[in-house]
Amino acid sequence: MSIQLFVRPVDPHRDQLAPVSPKADDEQVYEWALVDFSGHELSAGVDTFEGIMQLTEQQNLEDALLSFIMPSQHFGYVLAKLTPKQARYMQQALPFAVEELIAEDIESVHLVADARVKLGDESGFPTWVCRRNLFASFYNEAMLKPVPLDSITCEAAIVIAAHDSIVKAAGDDPDKGQHIHLFFDQLGASVGDDGFANSLPVNTLICAPGRMATSVPAESVELVIDSLSTFGQAESEKPEGLTASVEQSLQDADAAELGLSAGGSDVTLHVTISDAMAERYAVLLTSLESHPGFTVRVHRHQASPFTVLCDYATRFPVANFCIGPYKAQADGRSTGLSQWKPVAMAAGLVFLVLLGFNGVRGFFYQQQAEQLQQESLALYKSIFPADRRVSNPRRQMEGRIRNANTSSAATDFLQMLGEAGFRLSTQPNSSSMSFSNLQYNAQRGELAVEVRAAALGQIDQYKTALNQAGYQVDIGSAIKEANGVRGKITLRGAPGA
């Protein structure tokens, strides 16, 4: 087995308005761990990929393979029920089995079937669903790295792969009763000496093989657990505050399969959490342990969540999303220098072709750079029409921001805008939410934000998050459109004011 380099993209600008997406190498930050063939972690940290290469250059990376871990919120999880005959033609039959279970166009998604599971008297193939264009962007990003790509997966798939081991470690039988995993995760937690950073948001992966796989903020865990215990009740009896993504996960799962129709007496919650996080969420853990509907097992560790995920991925067979048109570079790759012999033999033949291709690509990128320069110039002039001489829009914008920081009114604006962006990025299913318009009134100290979301409930939850930050928030209007909802939110005041 080769040395494995695990990486997970971390958004270095969590207060920006844009959702998490692939970035250029000079700005994209990764949480990473280098693991040898025996499963021993050689080194780990948080850095750009160039920084990772510099830090690991003393290690023997000749046989290293890249394992890319994507954020779980980009994936759906459904159970495809196939007959034995259909299972023999998995790739052909899977789209037809999944098409009725998802809202997306089947042609626009990438499907990956996991190992077959048995749920009661039925069985099926848990299937991971991701928008094809989003998966392609992460795949292309991973393929450009100097380390050959071996696999792409997500955090929830890793936790589900470790299902039997986690259950058996608690002394339970994975074939008896229902088992739900709560894995407390934190992007970039390796920056903390104890694998925990107070400034970073904590998410909880809630997984049950073949039933559900979702990610919610740690603060919403108790609401989700309450919803599981009251599954099948009338809407008026359900707890308030559930996110749309969690409700959809519950709707996609059959109540009988979840084992909750009898009050959840056979359901066990397996909570995997670091010692540092357990101290922070001690009240939550106590509340879960005292919940009448579930048996709770707490699995505590002293490492960072990412280190635990890498350990699981090393020891258990995890679903590899590099299938179909998204083949891994490491498929059939031999160890040692022998892997490069075919490359060396073909290098002389393809050199001229690559040279010509790079020349064409360089010309194309130069054209794009000039177009973007013109667009940035036009944007700057639209914001500051009084500036007649604009030689460097980026530097002049930075100067404007520095000058604005000396103004109390501008400081309030930047503070409100930063908080609004931060709260948006921490919302569950934030990839479906965005800002489309901003208006700031300095006299009244009001920031008006036009928010687009998939459902009205997301806008209401976003308003609640801003209220909790200390702002007065009003929803001025909410208009339902073909592809979602557009609402106008107005912020007033400042925290501590």
Residues 100 and 217 in one domain: yes
Identify the pLDDT of residue 264.
43
Average pLDDT over residues 423-440: 80
pLDDT band at residue 337 under the 50/70/90 scheme: very low
For the entire predicted model, the pTM comes to: 0.59
Residues 16 and 142 occupy one common structural domain: yes
Task: Return the residue matching tokens 């059959």.
Answer: 254
Do 364 and 410 share a domain, yes or no? no
The pLDDT of residue 6: 93
CATH assignment of the domain containing 440: 3.30.1360.100
Q: Is there a single domain that holds both residue 309 and residue 375?
A: no
Q: What is the pLDDT of residue 312?
A: 92
DSSP-assigned letters across all residues of 273-334: EEHHHHHHTHHHHHHHHT-TT-EEEEEEESS-HHHHHHHHHHHS-PPP---TT---TTTTPP
Q: How far, in Å, are 192, 216, 269, 271 from residue 296 at the CA level? A: 28, 19, 5, 7
Say if residue 285 is in the same domain as residue 255. Answer: yes
Domain closes at, from 323, 352, 383: 383
Whole-number pLDDT of residue 155: 92
- Do 368 and 432 share a domain, yes or no? no
In a domain, 243, yes or no: yes
497 falls within a domain:
no
What stretch of H or E contains 441? strand 434-441
Q: Are residues 89 and 230 in the same domain?
A: yes
Q: Is residue 400 part of a domain?
A: no
Q: Three-state SS for 68? A: strand
Question: Is residue 334 in a domain?
Answer: no
Question: Among 78, 431, 19, 16, which residue's Cα sits nearest to residue 243?
Answer: 431
> Do 162 and 298 have their domain in common?
yes
* Top-confidence range, 184-193, 222-231, 262-271, 350-359: 350-359
**Stretch among 62-71, 205-214, 328-337, 394-403 having the lowest mean pLDDT:** 328-337
- pLDDT digits over 187-240, tens only? 766 545 445 556 677 888 888 888 888 888 888 888 887 777 654 343 434 444
359 lies in the same domain as 258 = no
Q: What percent of the chain has pLDDT over 70?
A: 77
Specify the higher pLDDT residue, 88 or 318: 318
Residue 298 lies inside a defined structural domain of this protein: yes
Q: Write the CATH number for 303.
A: 3.30.420.380
Q: Are residues 354 and 488 in the same domain?
A: no
What 8-state DSSP symbol labels residue 19? P
Higher pLDDT, 46 or 345: 46
User: In terms of pLDDT, which residue wins out, 238 or 409?
Assistant: 409
Say how many domains are in the chain.
Answer: 3
DSSP label at residue 442: T
Asked if residue 392 is part of any domain, the answer here is no
CA distance 416 to 408: 12
The reply to whether 9 and 147 lie within a common domain is yes
Domain end marker among 300, 315, 330: 315
Say what the pLDDT of residue 331 is. 53
46-100 tens-digit pLDDT: 888 888 888 777 766 677 889 999 888 888 888 888 877 777 888 788 888 888 8
Q: What are the pLDDT digits (tens) for 155-188? A: 999 999 998 888 888 888 888 888 899 999 887 6
Pair 230, 237: CB distance under 8 Å: yes
**Residues 481, 356 share a domain:** no
21: in domain: yes
Give the burial string for 119-145 (b: 16+ CB within 10 Å, else e): beeeebbbbbbbbbebbeebbebbbeb
Give the model's pLDDT for residue 152: 93
Max mean pLDDT among 97-111, 146-160, 370-384 falls in: 146-160
Tell whether 372 is covered by a domain: yes
Domain of residue 438, residue span: 405-492
